[in-house]
Amino acid sequence: MLLASVLVLCVLALSAQAPARSQRGSVLQSWILTVAGPVATALGTVSRGVSGTSTSFVDSFTARAENERLRRQVERQNEELFRLRAEVGQIRGELGLRASAPFLPSVVASAPVLLLERRAGLQSALIGIGSSSGVTAGSPLAVPEGLIGRVVTAGRTLSRVQLLLDASAAVGARVVRTGDLGIVRGDGRGALLLNHVSTTSRVRAGDVVESAGIDGIYPRGIPIGRVESVSRGETLFLDVRVVPAASFSRLTDVLVLAPFPAAEPEGPSATR
């Protein structure tokens, strides 16, 4: 082993001093470069691979962050678009509502219907308008097709409404063709009944029934519905069923009318 070691050292010493053929440098340097070449090539390949992987990872992370930012931006824009469409639809509905009801007296404002409540004879609604817009308890409500009901409680921005279909609702009514007067009441189940019409009346199915303006709540001349059927009751009055002119199941917006009769002005000027 000692001899082999000495021989190797001698060879290395000689090769370090012996010039390489047709090249600058020694034979030892040539050997070292020859052996180290593949290793350097392999290390370069690995380094480039690691660098490429790192660059790809950074690019992937950046792309994901950008996609997330764009996704949030698209969501915000979609929400804004939905809100704008809802506002435009509401404005169009209000304009159409007002334009299609020129016959209604003293329209104060239009309001969206926020909630419809139907249970155990109770027929009511919640609308998005209140005293801040001039609405008071007793203000009648209507749609272009006809009468809806009245405000029973007015908050600052919301109001509760009693619909004509409510079992406790009543409105003075008149049959347009015959002139007969009566009282239209709700049955709490979606229908209207015209009471106190004499058996001598000539009212028949198809006759238009409108508000008579005799109850101190609703103005005169607003359609209520059409007579559906007429039959003799057990009393001196006819049993008259009325189909509502307005579609209570599809209420989305209503018109608020001024209280009837008009409120008297307050203060000293009221006595002049």
Domain ranges of the chain: 25-99, 107-257
CB atoms within 10 A of CB 90: 15
Using pLDDT thresholds of 50, 70 and 90, give the confidence band for residue 89. Answer: low
Q: How many CA atoms are closer than 13 Å to the CA of 71, on its beta-carbon side?
A: 6
pTM of the shown model: 0.61
CB atoms within 10 A of CB 256: 27
Alpha-carbon distance values, 96 to 79, 110, 171 (Å): 26, 11, 27
The reported pLDDT for the residue numbered 88 is 62
What is the phi-psi region of residue 192: left when phi exceeds 0, alpha when psi lies from -120 to 50, beta otherwise?
A: beta
Return the structure tokens found at 240.
């008259």
Residue 71 in this model has a pLDDT that exceeds 50: yes
13/151: higher pLDDT? 151
The reported pLDDT for the residue numbered 267 is 44
The reported pLDDT for the residue numbered 210 is 95
Q: Where are the alpha helices (DSSP H) in 18-123?
A: 27-99
The reported pLDDT for the residue numbered 266 is 43
Measured distance CA(92)–CA(166) in Å, rounded: 30
Fold of 107-257: Thrombin, subunit H (2.40.10)
The reported pLDDT for the residue numbered 195 is 93
Using pLDDT thresholds of 50, 70 and 90, give the confidence band for residue 27. Answer: low
Measure the N-to-C terminal CA separation of the chain; round to a whole number of Å: 138
